[in-house]
């Protein structure tokens, strides 16, 4: 316990007892407190907050990442689509498409739902496999 922390006098005895407890005794104490007062020691999410990338409950996600998972047979067409959508140069677009053969590659991030679906349709028309995340 830090010397800077001001502990009210009424809690000093209690804290001294807790400091002397074993880990098993502390675990039992936590369970007893949870049962007695109907609470839990499990951390809760802050209201309105959601895990990264998740939409709050009841709301539909409005932005997506467009992820190329496989280039398909028409690789040149897919490279052209990547260049067109991302403004990347030929080499960068080719490298991204080549890399998608061995692992998923993000083509665009935080894209509106409608735009993401349009991108997905273009890639699928060229035979590529795409996911919206």
Is residue 26 assigned to a domain?
yes
The model scores a pTM over 0.95: no
Q: Do 73 and 117 belong together in one domain?
A: yes
Q: Which domain holds residue 17?
A: 9-44
Return the structure tokens found at 74: 């028409």
Q: Do 85 and 116 belong together in one domain?
A: yes
pLDDT, tens only, 32-73: 888 888 877 666 555 555 555 555 555 678 888 899 999 988
Number of structural domains in the chain: 2
Q: What is the CATH number of the domain that holds 73?
A: 3.30.1390.10
Q: Do 70 and 38 belong together in one domain?
A: no
**What pLDDT does residue 40 have?**
74
107 in Cβ contact with 67 (< 8 Å):
yes
Residues 6+ positions from 46 with CB-CB distance below 8 Å: none
């Amino acid at each position: 316990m830090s010397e800077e922390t001001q502990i009210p006098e009424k809690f000093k005895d209690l804290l001294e007892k807790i400091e002397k407890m074993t880990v098993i005794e502390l675990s039992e104490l936590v369970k007893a407190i949870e049962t007695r007062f109907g609470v839990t020691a499990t951390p809760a999410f802050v209201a309105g907050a959601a895990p990264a990338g998740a939409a709050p409950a009841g709301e539909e996600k409005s932005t997506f990442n467009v992820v190329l998972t496989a280039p398909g047979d028409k690789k040149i067409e897919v490279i052209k689509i990547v260049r067109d959508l991302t403004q990347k140069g030929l080499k960068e677009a080719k490298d991204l498409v080549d890399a998608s053969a061995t692992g998923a590659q993000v083509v665009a991030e935080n894209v509106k739902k409608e735009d993401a679906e349009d991108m997905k349709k273009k890639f699928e028309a060229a035979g590529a496999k795409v996911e919206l995340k």
